[in-house]
């Protein structure tokens, strides 16, 4: 693509973004469509390096000067448009969804497309044709990907339990100490079970 085509493509995308920006304060449905258009165009501008044809050295500078977008806002829109497209391609999302909902699926641990799909299906299981609430997304995230348990704590508990068990069989230890060790063993065993259930 020569420079004139790049500039033409950049101007078309800038025009689409500016038109979409006018609709950001309208109904949620219109705003969601606009957010997708903006995010998708910004992604194409960034990936294609088209912002350089507008005499900008950095994409972030382009976003700020052309549209008044912070770096964070621009990337939130880009990431939301990527999630939107992936969910549409998986066949689980048929309508444009607001960035504030899609943003919840952009964290690194949710970026795998299959995980996003499972979370979306769980969050919309009662009504697949509507946009889920933030609470429904959070609950679905917990079901699909339970919180990661710190394995170092598990290993520490197991080590202590393994030290305590042989001591309980020692005859040279007083009954008072054995009671304390039994209580500690029981407490650690319960804590370990609780951690593994989360």
Tokens of residue 183, six digits: 């209580």
Query: What pLDDT, on the 0 to 100 scale, is given for residue 129?
Result: 80
d(CA 36, CA 98): 8
126 and 158 housed in the same domain: no
Angle at 152 between CA 148 and CA 156, to 5 degrees: 130
Over residues 42-60, the mean pLDDT reads: 93
Total domain count, the chain: 2
126 and 165 housed in the same domain: no
123 and 175 housed in the same domain: no
Over residues 53-57, the mean pLDDT reads: 89
The pLDDT tens digits for 114-162 are: 889 999 999 998 887 889 999 999 999 888 876 554 455 566 666 776 7
d(CA 30, CA 22): 10
122 and 165 housed in the same domain: no
126 and 179 housed in the same domain: no
Tell me the pLDDT band of 39, cut-offs 50, 70 and 90.
very high
Tell me the pLDDT band of 6, cut-offs 50, 70 and 90.
low
21 and 71 housed in the same domain: yes
* Of the candidates 130, 47, 117, the residue with the CA atom closest to the CA atom of residue 88: 117
45 and 93 housed in the same domain: yes
Instruction: Tell me the C-alpha to C-alpha distance, in Å, between residue 81 and each of 16, 50, 160.
Output: 15, 18, 49
* Of the candidates 115, 112, 105, the residue with the CA atom closest to the CA atom of residue 84: 105
Of 35-39, 135-139, 169-173, least confident by mean pLDDT is: 169-173
Q: Give yes or no for a contact between 123 and 140, defined as CB atoms under 8 angstroms apart.
A: yes
34 and 110 housed in the same domain: yes
34 and 122 housed in the same domain: yes
**Three-state helix/strand/coil letters over the chain:** CCHHHHHHHHHHHHHHHHHHHCCCCCCHHHHHHHHHHHHHHHHHHHHHCHHHHHCCCCHHHHHHHHHCCCHHHHHHHHHHHHHHHHHHHCCCCCCCCCHHHHHHHCCHHHCCHHHHHHHHHHHCCCCCCCCCCHHHHHHHHHHHCCCCCCHHHHHHHHHHHHHHHHHHCCCCCCHHHHHHHHHHHHHHHHHHHHHHHC
The pLDDT tens digits for 22-32 are: 988 888 889 99
pTM metric for this prediction: 0.69
67 and 107 housed in the same domain: yes
The pLDDT tens digits for 75-95 are: 999 999 999 999 999 999 888
81 and 99 housed in the same domain: yes
Query: What pLDDT, on the 0 to 100 scale, is given for residue 150?
Result: 46
104 and 172 housed in the same domain: no
Query: What pLDDT, on the 0 to 100 scale, is given for residue 149?
Result: 46
Query: What pLDDT, on the 0 to 100 scale, is given for residue 31?
Result: 92
Query: For the chain, what's the residue count?
Result: 198
Per the structure, the complete domain to which residue 178 belongs is given by: 151-197
């Amino acid at each position: 693509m020569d420079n004139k085509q790049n500039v033409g493509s950049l101007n078309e995308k800038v025009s689409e973004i500016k038109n979409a920006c006018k609709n950001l304060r309208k109904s949620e449905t219109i705003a969601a469509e606009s957010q997708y258009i903006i995010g998708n165009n910004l992604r194409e501008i960034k990936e294609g390096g088209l912002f350089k044809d507008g005499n900008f050295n950095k994409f972030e500078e382009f976003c700020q000067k052309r549209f008044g977008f912070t770096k964070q806002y621009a990337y939130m829109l880009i990431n939301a448009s990527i999630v939107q497209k992936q969910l549409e391609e998986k066949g689980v999302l048929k309508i444009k969804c607001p960035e504030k909902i899609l943003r919840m699926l952009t964290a690194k641990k949710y970026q795998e497309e299959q995980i996003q799909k499972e979370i979306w299906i769980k969050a919309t299981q009662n009504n697949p044709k509507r946009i889920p609430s933030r609470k429904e997304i959070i609950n679905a995230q917990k079901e699909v990907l339970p919180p990661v348990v710190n394995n170092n704590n598990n290993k520490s508990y197991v080590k202590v339990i393994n030290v305590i068990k042989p001591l309980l069989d020692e005859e040279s230890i007083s009954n008072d100490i054995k009671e304390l060790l039994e209580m500690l063993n029981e407490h650690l065993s319960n804590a370990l079970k609780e951690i593994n259930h989360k």
